[in-house]
Amino acid sequence: MNFLRSDEQLELRSAVRDFLAAKSAEPEVRRLMATETGYDPAVWAQLSDQLGLPGMAIPEQYGGAGFGYTELGIVFEEMGRALLCAPYLSSVALAAEALLRCADEAARKDLLPGLAAGRTIGTLALLEQPGRWDEAAVQLRASRVQRAAEEGMGGPARGETGWVLDGSKRHVPDGHIADLIMVGARTPAGVGLFAVDGAAAGLTTTLVPTLDQTRKQAHLEFAGTPARLIGDAADGWPVIQDVLRTAAILLAAEQVGGASRAVEMAVSYAGLRVQFGRPVGSFQGIKHLCADLLTEAEAARSAAYYGLSALATGSADLPVAASLAKVYCSQAYTRIASDAIQVHGGIGFTWEHPAHLYFKRAKASESLFGTPSYHRDLLAAQLALPPAVSSVEV
Amino acid sequence: MDIEISPADQPFADEVQAWLDEHLVGEFAAHRGVGGPDDSAAWDVRARWEKELAAGRWLGLTWPEEYGGRGATLAQAIIFEYLYARAQAPYRLNVQGQDLFGPTLLMFGTAGQKARFLPRILAAEEFWGQGFSEPDAGSDLASVRTQARLVKGNGEGGGTWVLDGQKIWMTFGASADWLYVLCRTDPQSSRHHGLSMLIVPAHQPGVHIRPIRNMLGEGAFCEVFFDGARTSADLVVGQPGQGWTVAMAALGVERGTLLMPQQLGFEREAEHVLELARERPGAAGLSHRLVDCWIAVRLMRVTTLRTIGELVAGRPPGAQAATSKLYASVQHQRLLELATELLAEDATVTGDNYALAPLQRAFLLSRAETIYGGSSQIQRNIIGERILGLPREPRPA
């Protein structure tokens, strides 16, 4: 196993970093997080047209650049550093991944080129109850009906049999701006994967105010909403499961980027802030804390690299690698962002200082795609450990 | 999760594996996984194994052939260490000679010194002990007080160094034939000035080596008293007065590959602990902590592979090379704390004569891991100052 980044990959890193330094500086992040859409369409168009970032890891036959997960990980890391406000995670790690991993070639041909070019913004609507990322929790109903009208997404024509969705999805990343919503729904045969047009009839999206204002969420209501079945009505869950694993790893790369930036901010401040006639970073109380933060950030980087490597090699280890990355990077980012506030002292607690932006992104990322506890349960099962229940009878 | 072996190095890897298959048998195979950096278990078997390795020319692979090495590439040395660790071959005894003093002598030694000492290290004929720490110079190594004065003479080496003082925490010192000793050779000097690195024969009247019983009741560490000990004037590594630079080089020898056998050992240990957890009722409440320990051990390996990748590519190692010792030592302690909690009362009893079970040994030995080789507090200073660039603590004038 080789975790070395090639010279070309390092060049990609600096190109993306330069772009984001110009387009996603702190004032811009603050401006966008206060908007309803939460992103700048002009910057999105630039990162799509100039850098080709949405299609980075999509094969060329579907309009992408055909790079791998290692490159994609670099992009996510840089976006995490810059706290980029854009629907990249939802479009790339969720919607595009769902199409790439499904067994429906026609859907791929229809829908991937738009995502690859950044013309379509996509997401995945899965969660119905807080913390429930498992198959049994998917209850939104999909039913077969006779189509009354033409639908979007290249589905069946008027008069043919089609599918409609009824129910609700919660905390859908960028669900308020998505043109294409991939949905996990309960069919008579099991869990199916569906594609829904963001403008479909019977779909209501409600933007939810979020703790982390740099990433938006929406609650979605489906009422007889026409949907296109992707693949088979019973084979959606394995696809969704792999999408969640992939997204957890790409999110881990984003978390590493944010965590590394938080360490840099803390260290820089500790070197400048003078108390008792010395920079506070010369005191071991602060210096050792900073050293621990770097140690934690480097371990988190190893966790993300391990996950990315499992993705890049198509390893059977993916379930383990994804949960490992999710557990470790989630906790590391939250701890690092929290201690970065501590190093800054009072100023770190203010709205004007960016420390809270990282802390809130860390906290919100922690539960996205499953909390650390949930992923520890998954790992315990993978390792054939007894389930984490109390052995004490009350 | 394996290291990558290039097609060009595959024949070398095959040779290593074939040799291990053929030689790691009998009493050596019976002692798979035995030993550690400060673990003297099965000393005699391990000493014989080291001779076996020497006969196969597997020691000091990257050293020049003229000193008994193979002039191997770093990538090959890593392949060897990986296959060696995977085969659970006994932990080598002469780490001081092979991995610390030898590489330092290659950097600073004279042609004569290298010709005299290096081949015997690789032949497993002479064992080495490190004389750095003193009772009053632990983490603060620059406080070294052991004195050496040069007595001029007309003999072969042009005189004699005479040493007086005391060293402590010399790993496996009781078995050392030679010591490399950081001494104050300028009596007027202070701190890191006026120090010299001397090579001192251990077997002489002026050197008294006394084992210190560690908390396992074993004598892996020693204290050493120099009472008019003598060594030839030419047995100084580098220039007189250059001792601090030489000592820092010895401590700075890249340990990316050295961590590998230890970490593969940690992985086996973690597997063993998980196995126990599957069998023991009452382990359920520990599941999440077990998962965390398992994660930590896996991350150690990834981190080591990251460093190895950079070294093989000729890039400067990243920050993770500096944080890995701190991380691994702390996490290893946590794993063994959990293991003993899992064992409950079984962890509280020993065999006769304080005979310890493997997990008990590891549990106790792991206490030293956050102290030796630069304590965790010193590691944090190094990370803070050298990697993060934070200001140094103001030193007393």
Could you say which of B274, B282, B320 has the minimum Cβ distance to residue A385? B274
Instruction: Write phi, then psi, for A275 (nearest 5 degrees).
Output: -140, 150
DSSP per-residue string spanning A314-349: T-TTHHHHHHHHHHHHHHHHHHHHHHHHHHHGGGGG
**B294 touching A, CB under 8 A?**
yes
Instruction: Write phi, then psi, for A167 (nearest 5 degrees).
Output: 145, -165
A188 and A296 housed in the same domain: no
Beta-carbon count within 10 A of B252 CB: 10
The secondary structure element, H or E, covering residue A358 is helix A355-367
Could you say which of B1, B284, B320 has the minimum Cβ distance to residue A1? B1
pLDDT tens per residue, range B189-203: 999 999 999 999 999
CATH of the domain at A113: 1.10.540.10
Which positions in chain A touch B375 (Cβ < 8 Å)? Answer: none
The interaxial angle of helices A318-344 and A355-367, nearest 10 deg, is: 150
CATH of the domain at A258: 1.20.140.10
HEC readout, A262-281? HHHHHHHHHHHCEECCEEHH
Distance separating alpha carbons of residues B229 and B207, to the nearest angstrom: 6
Q: Mean pLDDT, chain B, as a whole number? A: 93
A132 and A257 housed in the same domain: no
Bridging pattern class, strands B160-171 and B147-151: antiparallel
CA torsion angle for B315, B319, B324, B325 (degrees, to 10)? 100
Determine whether the interchain pair B389/A390 forms a contact, defined as Cβ–Cβ distance below 8 Å. no
Structural domain contains residue A348: yes
Structural domain contains residue A193: yes
C-beta separation of A299 from B306 below 8 A: no
Cα–Cα separations (whole angstroms), residue B302 to A31, A314, B327, B380: 39, 17, 13, 21
Which positions in chain A touch B313 (Cβ < 8 Å)? Answer: 4
Q: How many domains does chain A have?
A: 3
Which of the pair, B245 or A147, is modelled with greater confidence? B245
A378 and A243 housed in the same domain: yes
Question: Over pLDDT 90: what percentage of chain A?
Answer: 93
A84 and A21 housed in the same domain: yes
Calculate how close chain B gets to A385, using CA atoms only, in Å.
Answer: 6
Choose the final residue of a domain: A117, A146, A164. Answer: A117
Specify the pLDDT at position B1.
58
Structural domain contains residue A98: yes
Cα–Cα separations (whole angstroms), residue B40 to B59, B82, B173: 20, 22, 11
The secondary structure element, H or E, covering residue A372 is helix A372-382
Specify the pLDDT at position B260.
78
pLDDT tens per residue, range A67-117: 999 999 999 999 999 999 999 999 999 999 999 999 999 999 999 999 999
Chain A residues whose C-beta is within 8 A of a chain B C-beta are 1-4, 267, 270-271, 278-279, 281-284, 286-288, 290-292, 294-295, 298-299, 301-303, 305-306, 324, 327-328, 373, 376-377, 379-380, 383-391
A217 and A261 housed in the same domain: no
Choose the final residue of a domain: A86, A117, A148. Answer: A117
Q: Which ranges of B87-186 does DSSP label H, i.e. alpha helix?
A: 95, 102-108, 111-122
Q: Where are the beta strands (DSSP E) in A80-179?
A: 122-125, 141-146, 161-173
C-beta separation of B362 from B266 below 8 A: no
Determine whether the interchain pair B285/A287 forms a contact, defined as Cβ–Cβ distance below 8 Å. no
Structural domain contains residue A246: yes
**B313 touching A, CB under 8 A?**
yes
CATH of the domain at A169: 2.40.110.10
Tokens of A174: 């960028």
Determine whether the interchain pair A387/B284 forms a contact, defined as Cβ–Cβ distance below 8 Å. yes
Q: Return the active site residues of B.
A: 254
**B385 touching A, CB under 8 A?**
yes
Determine whether the interchain pair A384/B281 forms a contact, defined as Cβ–Cβ distance below 8 Å. no
Whether the pLDDT of residue A273 is over 60: the answer is: yes
Could you say which of A1, A282, A386 has the minimum Cβ distance to residue B394? A282
Reported as half-sphere exposure (CB side, CA atoms, 13 A), residue A214 has a value of 28
Tokens of B318: 């990243």
Residues ≥6 apart with Cβ < 8 Å to A16? A51, A53, A74, A75, A78, A79
Structural domain contains residue A350: yes
Q: Which of A231, A167, A158 is nearest to A193 (CA)?
A: A231
A356 and A263 housed in the same domain: yes
Calculate how close chain A gets to B385, using CA atoms only, in Å.
Answer: 8
Q: Strand pairing partners for A229?
A: A194
Distance separating alpha carbons of residues B293 and A162, to the nearest angstrom: 50
Could you say which of B282, B302, B389 has the minimum Cβ distance to residue A306? B302
A139 and A190 housed in the same domain: yes
pTM attached to this predicted model: 0.94
Structural domain contains residue A387: no
Residue A48 is which amino acid? S
The count of CB pairs under 8 A between chains A and B is: 159
A264 and A364 housed in the same domain: yes
A256 and A378 housed in the same domain: yes
Residues in chain B: 397
Domain encompassing residue A59: 7-117
pLDDT tens per residue, range A181-215: 999 999 999 999 999 999 999 999 999 999 999 99
A188 and A57 housed in the same domain: no
Which residue matches tokens 């009893």? Answer: B349
pLDDT tens per residue, range A326-352: 999 999 999 999 999 999 999 999 999
Whether the pLDDT of residue B396 is over 90: the answer is: no
A34 and A157 housed in the same domain: no
**CA-based nearest residue in chain B for residue A288:** B380
**B319 touching A, CB under 8 A?**
yes
HEC readout, B251-290? HHCCCCCCHHHHHHHHHHHHHHHHHHHHHCCCCHHHHHHH
Distance separating alpha carbons of residues A324 and A311, to the nearest angstrom: 13
Q: Which ranges of B313-397 does DSSP label H, i.e. alpha helix?
A: 319-343, 358-369, 376-382
pLDDT tens per residue, range B324-383: 999 999 999 999 999 999 999 999 999 999 999 999 999 999 999 999 888 999 999 999
| Domains in chain B, CATH or no CATH each | 7-93 (1.10.540.10), 128-239 (2.40.110.10), 259-387 (1.20.140.10)
Could you say which of B278, B318, B387 has the minimum Cβ distance to residue A384? B278
Determine whether the interchain pair B380/A390 forms a contact, defined as Cβ–Cβ distance below 8 Å. no
**CA-based nearest residue in chain B for residue A315:** B1
**B259 touching A, CB under 8 A?**
no
Tokens of A309: 């490597």
The secondary structure element, H or E, covering residue A184 is strand A180-187
Instruction: Write phi, then psi, for A365 (nearest 5 degrees).
Output: -70, -30
Determine whether the interchain pair B281/A391 forms a contact, defined as Cβ–Cβ distance below 8 Å. yes
**CA-based nearest residue in chain A for residue B297:** A299
Determine whether the interchain pair A327/B291 forms a contact, defined as Cβ–Cβ distance below 8 Å. yes
Structural domain contains residue A390: no
Specify the pLDDT at position B18.
98
pLDDT tens per residue, range A32-68: 999 999 999 999 999 999 999 999 999 999 999 999 9
Choose the final residue of a domain: A61, A95, A117. Answer: A117
Specify the pLDDT at position B11.
97
A134 and A264 housed in the same domain: no
Structural domain contains residue A309: yes
Reported as half-sphere exposure (CB side, CA atoms, 13 A), residue B268 has a value of 16
Q: What is the mean pLDDT of residues B176-205?
A: 96
